[in-house]
Every structure is written in C-alpha cells, then in structure tokens.
Structure 1
C-alpha cells in the first residue's frame, strides 16, 4: 500500500526554501516528491497547514541501556526524532569484557542507568548491536565506540598511561569496533577512565577512525575555566589524525568564563580555515545534565566506582575532597565552582530511601538531612553507589542563540532518561522550532530543519537519511509550525511536546494525528 502525504509544505532538509508538494512512500522508501495524483488504495495523510520534513537525528543520546529494556524510546519519537546516536561521552555499553561487567555497570549507572533484566555478556559492539537487532528497535539506532570502554579492555580502569604495545592494542580494539559498524569514536574527558588519557593516545585511535571516515565525538576536558586550551587539544587531534571533529553539547559554562565565547568561535573558524573538519551539537537550554559524581575531584574516581565508594567512607579524604572542590585543581572542570551548590539539582536516584531528594539542590539536601551540604552529598553518592543524576545551570539565552545560529551546529537532546530528567529529553527539537524559530525568529525554519536532518546526516555519514528525496528512507516528521513547542519544565519535565502530528520511520507510521503507535519500526544502522 502506498502512503501519500499531500497538501503539505515540504522542507527537504537541504536548507532550500519550503515548497508545496506531495510525498509518495512505498515500503521503506520515498518514491516521489512533487505533484502526485492520488491513486485508489493510497493511504492519504492530509498535511494541509503542516510542514513535512525529514525525521530528526539526535546526535547525542543516552538511550544505550534503555533501548534494551524499552526499545520504543517514546520520548524521542514524540518529538520527531527518528535516528539516535548512542555510545556517547566515552562510556557506554560496549565493548565490555566479562571480568569488568560489575564495576562498569556502576560506572555507567549515573548516565545510562542500570538493569538486571538484560544479558550483559555481549562483550563487543558486534554483540551489542546484534542484541538490539534481535529484539527490535522503535527508531533507528547507531553507535560510537567509547574511548573508556576501549581503555578498560586494554589496560583496566586505573589512572595509568599505556605503553606502546598497549596503545597498539587500543588501536586494534578501535579497528575491530569500527569494522562492526561504529560510526566513530567518542570520549568524555571529564569521565573516568577517559580523563586519565593523554592527547597522543587519542590521536593514535583517531588515526584508525579516520581510515573509515568516522567522526571523533568529544566531551572535551573543559567547558569552563580552561576551555581554550581544551579546544586546542581537540583541534590538535584533528590536525594530526585527519579525523572529523565533533564537539558534544557545545557551551561555555560559568559567568566568569563567558568572556571566552568570542575566542571559542575564533578557534572553530581557524580550524576550518586550516582544513580541519569541525562541527558541534547543542541542546537549546541554559542548564546541563549529567551524573552527580562529576562534582568529585578526579582522583576520587581512580580505579573505578568501587574505589570511589571506599574513599567516600574515609573522613579525612572527604575533607580533602571539600578542599579541592572549594579551591579547584588546575585543568579540572569544577561544577561546584561554575554552577554553585544551589544550582545543582538531583534528578535521579536508584533507591527508595533517597527519593525525597529528587528535585532538590545540594544546599536543600544538606538542610533536609541536617548536615553540611558537602557531607550530605557525599552520603547520597555513597548510599546510591554513585548512581545519581543531576541538572546544573550554567549559561544565558543569548549564548544559546549565538551557538544555535553557527554553521557548525546541529541540534541534540543529550537526554538522560532516568528519574526526573532534564526537559531536553522530551523537548529539544520542538523547542528550537517553537521558541527559537517562531517566537524569537533567531533563524529561519529551513535552516533549523537542516540542522536537525541533513547536517547531522552528513557529519555522521548516514546514507539515505536526513533529506526528503526519492530513494531515501521514509523517515518523516509532520508538524504544525504555528503550535509546535516543548512543554516540559525543570520542575515538571515529563511532558510530551505539542504540534508533532505525524511521524514515519522507515515508511511505518508511528505517530498518527498526535497519537503514538507502539511499532518497532527502526533499524540498527552500521557504517
């Protein structure tokens, strides 16, 4: 049966002006765009007054575990996302040698959650992707091989530097995972064990990634005090390896560091002038979200989560932690310094005992527990085995707009799915369309759609996706440009957006007139 979308305004993802046309779909693919007569037996979607666009591509997602427990990932589909990129921040599901399953689950829990309901013995990217494929996925899923997982397999979780042979082992693992279908390499240089690495280690792995025209996706060492030297390091990786550089959730954190924004943009432009391929993604909010454990000094994480928990039991080491958090360590992004204890809010815990702290900031948590905020926070991390999520406020709306309108930018959610999540999980893409296109008029609709579709498809190498054209996969979102917007707030984030009327994934309709149908319509994508 052919699907015919008619009477809509087509925004094809290329950045070209919108035009009136019909879109015909047969099976998984678009067969024609233009003035197409209706035929008997067509399933017709009347898009009068609506925009017809390619499905949105979320280049920074944390559904890695969720997709094995609940493969539908409804919060993403509800906002028009049809493809996700997993394996972010250098710490994810695979590779995972069997001897590291227990400590790695603890290390991963704050970002991606934990579950006893899955089989953790898949070992490699090939095994992980096959596991997803066997059970089916609600939307298209792709994967980056995480630096931290590679490092763990090669040399363990400790704070050490690899020798020449160990670097070769890391490169061999990288090659194996790229051959399995990874689209590139990710790292999170504030997360352990990635943070222990020196630049040359990363360059050598990126040389392998460049052979496959893969992308290096990086949560850089600093988004705050030392952001300029941090960016210079990442650009040097691109210079020496030839890999494409993609900065994750790009921003400048903390009022005292906003002075660097002009220089940050200059560094991007200089790199491009030199021929280094540079891009970044961004979520359209002034607050970030990650795991609460990042507020602890780097040395606390040495050896993994089990060692971290031992240190949290030591009263003297707690005092040293407080000293470092109040005075800083050169080169360390100190969240307490740039956000403040009163601007860091707990979003998720895993036990019932601490559910009363969800939604509270660290100062409030101290008052509730009748303790100094630092001690109460340390207690919380210990009791929850470091599986605590957080939101932190770091920026201004004018900065969001400045980065949003840069040519290097594409939209993402960076959504952590557990507990009381950041509203970006439910609303990043509709927020851009509603707030920044329609209300603020910060950029044209066609430019915004390009940043959600063809732009990320080009950066990551998704063939046959990201545009509306014949023989492309029918990943399509149809929305009302007059009403589309996010609904979630930091207080009440779990709210679906408005204005997303229809979503098709590989030619299957998963949202129809605003109603969601549970369909495993996605594919596991391999490069």
Structure 2
C-alpha cells in the first residue's frame, strides 16, 4: 500500500496533514488518530505510537468526507452499490430522492406508474420494487453492500402519485390526509425531509397551497423542505418567492435545489434571487441553496414538452407525440412557449441540446440534436419527439442554459453549498460530467485556478454546511468524536477530467478516501471495501 505502513494502537493514523476541518476556520498542520470508525485524537502523534495503518499526508489536505447534498443514486445503486464515481471524488455520503422523486413509499397498484416515473434515474438497474414503505426501502438498501453512506428524502411527487396518480387537479381533503400520513410515516422511518420537483409531473400540477399544507408535517420533525423550484428561467424570481413563502408561512427550513437562472435572457437574475433569500434570512426565514459547478443542466428530453403533454404519464406522452395533429400543436407551443421551463428555448434550440443517455438509440449518445436531425434529415423538434418515442421515456440530455458568471456568483454566496445533481448512466451510456467531476472541479477550477473560493470556504460548502443543514451531528467536521469519514487530496493538482465525450473519466488528485475509519480509496484506487451505511434521520 503506497504511503501506508502496517504497524497497533490506533487502527489508522494520518500524519503531517494540512487539516481543513470543515468549519471555515483556517487550515492547520497536524495528525489524526482513528479507532472503531471514529476520530479519537487530533494533534501530534508521536513517532513511537503504533497503528495498524499510517498514511503520510505530507503536502496534502485532509478534509471531512464530502457530503453530496443533491444526487440521484436512489435506483442506480441497485446496479452499482459502490457508487465509484462518487467515491473517486471524495464523496463519503450521497443524499438522494431529490426533485420529488423517491422509490418509496409505493402502493402495489402504483408500481407500474412509479417504475415509469423514475425510469430516467435507474441507470440501467433492474428494479424489483419489493418494498412498500419508506422504511422497507431503506432496509433493502442496508443489504446492498454500499460503497458510500447514503441518506434520503421522501418525494412529494411520489407521495402524490401514490394517492392521485397523474391527475392534474387539487387533492381532496381525504387525499391530503393520506398524503400527510405517507409523509409522516416516511419521516418517522428515516427520511431527512421532503423534496419536490415542480417541473416534473405530477409535482408540476400542485399549487403552492398544496405544498404548504403537506409541508406542515415537517414542522414537528424540524425537517428540511428541498425544492426543484417551479421555474429556473423566465419566472425564476417568482419561483424562489414561492419557496420562501412556504418556508415563512409553515415555519420550516427550506432549500432551493441546484440554483440557477437558465436561458441567456435571464442571466444575472441570480443576483435578484439571492437578494430575496438574504432578505428572507433577515426576517428569520431559514433558507439555503445548493449548486453544481457547470453551465449545462441535465434532465430528460421530455422536459422540452409543454406541461399538458405530460398528463397521464409516459404512455400518454407517447400517444400524443405519435398523433400528427397534436404533434404540430406541440411544436408551435414549444417555439413560442415561455410559460413553463422551456428547455428548448433556454438552450437556444438544437445546438444547445446534447443527447447523453438513450438506451434504445445509443448511436446518438454524445451528439447534439442539431447533428442528429441533420443525420436523420428531420426537423430538430421532430427528432426530439422520435427519440422520446423510441426510448419510451428512458432518456437523458444535457442543456447549455447557464452563464459562467452566474455559476461563480451563486457558488460564492454564503447560503450556497455544493451538490452534484448527478444521475448515473447505464453501462455504456453517457451522462452529465458532474457525476464524476463536481467536487474536484470546485477544488481545482474554482479554488486553485480562479480563486473564486478559499479552500476553507469550499470544504465548508462540501462537508460542514450540508452536515449542519441535515443535522448529521457526527459528520462533516474533523473533530474528536466525529465519524472518521475523510478525504485526502493534493491541492496542487486536484481537478476534474470528465466531459461529455468521457463523462466517467475519474478526477486526479483525490488520493485517499476513508469511510467509517476504513480506507476505501487508496492512492486513487478502490480497495474493494464496502463499508457505507444507510443514514436515517433521528
């Protein structure tokens, strides 16, 4: 083991490290001793003290393991429980079931609907749907042999789908009672809060009053509401106001997920939205945000379509796209539409949309819609429709919609933390490079190269801040008594290497990752140890 010697007093000692402890305090030099999965000593470990393993971290940074507060590993880990793309970045805890999507709770008669609803986050996994309650789902995760720790929200969209299917109306009094019951049960069984995805059906059909009513259950648990807000482009200011209003009225903590202003005409609006959030904080409203460090977003091609096309689920979408009269109507609405999250216009059309995962038409992965439409000799939107139909709704694309100035502005804001929004792809398919690059990209590009953040700020946004937000009391900081989830990296070379052509190319400079006191990444190589745990809100 390069840099590690077999020695037995401590199980693991890290020597000579530049320690950034996750608190925003200035770094300091020191050693750390670990026993039974916990940090038990900080200071100077004498040379004659024995340890089973020693890592010499001379010239490298020792930081708390990164907590990815926004990921979508919830179903792909049934195929890839190691979550290697995350581990190689230094991520020791993945937080998923975001954007209103969660695999649980699930009623037997809704399995087919939820299977389609969550199809784009499966990442090639075959799902048995052998659980019903949220607690059952977490119990199943316990059996998988996880490479990293995981924590989960419960999805508003999933709860609504269980009770109402894809209906576009308001819930009845009885239906709201049932939605609350499912949410409360999930929170009692370990969910860290409630997520919503208000550009996705069925969340898109919910009014603010519905979300506020359901969110009242969070108050008794002091749990977090985290939202993919209703609009991240033309109406982003109104959408942020909606989230602030919920948090203020219901008196619960809330977070705006992957904050951005999409579409060139909206660039710069993040200054307005962040001002709104600052003003809300001054009024005592507990608001935060997360963000990934890229100018391109990723979601399904279906999100190019107007909201009404989604009614009834994927099968109904395909029926409508096959109908030539309805198809023509859809094309007209997309080309003029500004009343929804229009990813087509926000990406400046076909040249700004890159197909990354189309399992039934893999030959087009990595290509723009512009290039595919030329190859097929079809109108670009007709090409999008054909890809949706051919892939039965199981597709992902990247959309170039943000500005670099906005990315840097949001990143630097004190309310912002880092979340990858990663959606792992099926074997052989492609995905957004953030799945393999988010955290090293922040450290390399935005800390070392551009100095947009200090090293201490960046580590706080990746560890201490998300741990504090989620009330993970034993994670996120290097302190005696805390969980020994750690990352050691070379600050002089750390950087992401993934891109659209090779989204799984691993970063450089992430040398060691420790989870529960066990070395799981050793000089950049996975050791085979699967010591991840399912974290449950307590």
TM-score (norm 2): 0.95
Q: Equivalent of 2:526, from 497, 501, 516?
A: 516
Paired with 2:365 and 2:524, the residues of 1 have a C-alpha distance of 31
Task: Give, in angstroms, the shift of residue 316 of structure 1.
Answer: 0.8
Paired with 2:193 and 2:270, the residues of 1 have a C-alpha distance of 28
Q: Kindly indicate whether residue 207 of structure 2 is the aligned counterpart of residue 191 of structure 1.
A: no
Task: Give, in angstroms, the shift of residue 22 of structure 1.
Answer: 0.4
Paired with 1:127 and 1:433, the residues of 2 have a C-alpha distance of 37
Task: Give, in angstroms, the shift of residue 329 of structure 1.
Answer: 4.9
RMSD: 1.2
Paired with 2:51 and 2:177, the residues of 1 have a C-alpha distance of 59
Q: Kindly indicate whether residue 58 of structure 2 is the aligned counterpart of residue 51 of structure 1.
A: no
Residue matched to 2:393: 386
Task: Give, in angstroms, the shift of residue 111 of structure 1.
Answer: 3.2
Residue matched to 1:480: 490
Paired with 2:104 and 2:468, the residues of 1 have a C-alpha distance of 25
Paired with 2:96 and 2:211, the residues of 1 have a C-alpha distance of 20
Task: Give, in angstroms, the shift of residue 367 of structure 1.
Answer: 1.4
Paired with 1:122 and 1:356, the residues of 2 have a C-alpha distance of 35
SS in 1 for 2:267: helix
Provide Cα deviations, 1:331-363, integer angstroms capped at 9, x if missing partner: x11111111221011100122xx1111111112
Task: Give, in angstroms, the shift of residue 179 of structure 1.
Answer: 0.4
Paired with 1:6 and 1:259, the residues of 2 have a C-alpha distance of 45
Task: Give, in angstroms, the shift of residue 76 of structure 1.
Answer: 0.1
Residue matched to 2:78: 68
In 2, are the aligned partners of 1:57 and 1:82 still within 8 Å (CA)? yes
Q: Equivalent of 2:409, from 378, 402, 405?
A: 402
Q: Kindly indicate whether residue 368 of structure 2 is the aligned counterpart of residue 361 of structure 1.
A: yes
Task: Give, in angstroms, the shift of residue 259 of structure 1.
Answer: 4.2
SS in 2 for 1:496: coil
Task: Give, in angstroms, the shift of residue 115 of structure 1.
Answer: 3.3
Task: Give, in angstroms, the shift of residue 192 of structure 1.
Answer: 0.5
Task: Give, in angstroms, the shift of residue 145 of structure 1.
Answer: 0.3
Residue matched to 1:412: 419
Residue matched to 1:137: 146
Distance change (3 Å), C-alpha of 1:484 and 1:329? closer
Q: Equivalent of 2:476, from 466, 472, 475?
A: 466
SS in 2 for 1:279: strand
Residue matched to 2:179: 170
In 2, are the aligned partners of 1:111 and 1:291 still within 8 Å (CA)? no
Task: Give, in angstroms, the shift of residue 136 of structure 1.
Answer: 2.4
In 1, are the aligned partners of 2:255 and 2:289 still within 8 Å (CA)? yes
Paired with 1:518 and 1:374, the residues of 2 have a C-alpha distance of 45
Pairs aligned (count): 523
Q: Equivalent of 2:287, from 275, 278, 298?
A: 278
SS in 2 for 1:89: coil
Q: Kindly indicate whether residue 496 of structure 2 is the aligned counterpart of residue 489 of structure 1.
A: no
Residue matched to 2:108: 98
Greater shift, 395-404 or 56-65, is seen at 395-404
Q: Where does the alignment leave 5 or more consecutive residues of structure 1 unmatched?
A: none
Paired with 1:226 and 1:52, the residues of 2 have a C-alpha distance of 42
Q: Where does the alignment leave 5 or more consecutive residues of structure 2 unmatched?
A: 1-7
Paired with 2:250 and 2:422, the residues of 1 have a C-alpha distance of 30
